[in-house]
């Protein structure tokens, strides 16, 4: 099956545009609203983001956490956070 774009005729396009403009649930943007829009990319910034570093652990420690399955890095972080909390 081939997909082919079927463009609406000028009359159909005008009818679609008129219906969209008269939709009370979705009014068109004003020029001022369009000018105020700013593109945002990616995820919103976190309040307390994690810091990426390079660190070396013994193979035994890494193998243990990896053997616990998906989310092993988050679990390792939780263990370290508990340690920090207990030392404060």
Answer yes or no: is 15 within a domain: no
Assess whether pLDDT exceeds 90 at residue 78: yes
The parent domain of residue 80 ranges over: 52-88
Report the pLDDT averaged over residues 57-70: 96
CB atoms under 10 Å from CB of 24, counted, come to 5
The pLDDT value recorded for residue 28 is: 84
Report yes or no on 2 lying in a domain. Answer: no
Considering the domain boundaries, does residue 47 fall inside one? no
Q: Is the residue at 34 inside a domain?
A: no
Tell whether 74 is covered by a domain: yes
Is residue 71 pLDDT above 80, yes or no?
yes
φ and ψ at residue 46, rounded to 5 degrees:
-85, 155
Residue 33: inside a domain? no
pTM exceeding the 0.75 threshold for the entire prediction: no
Confirm whether 12 is domain-assigned. no
pLDDT of residue 72: 97
In angstroms, the CA 52 to CA 72 distance is 16
Alpha helices in 1-88 (DSSP H): 10-21, 31-36, 59-67, 72-87
Quick: pLDDT tens for 21-56. 899 898 888 899 999 998 888 888 889 899 999 999
């Amino acid at each position: 099956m081939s997909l082919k774009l079927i463009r609406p005729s000028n009359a159909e396009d005008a009818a679609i545009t008129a219906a969209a403009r008269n939709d009370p649930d979705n009014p068109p943007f004003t020029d001022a609203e369009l000018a105020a829009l700013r593109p945002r990319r990616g995820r919103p910034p976190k309040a307390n983001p994690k810091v990426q570093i390079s660190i070396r652990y013994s193979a035994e420690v890494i193998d243990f956490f990896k053997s616990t399955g998906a989310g092993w890095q988050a679990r390792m972080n939780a263990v370290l956070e508990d340690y920090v909390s207990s030392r404060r």
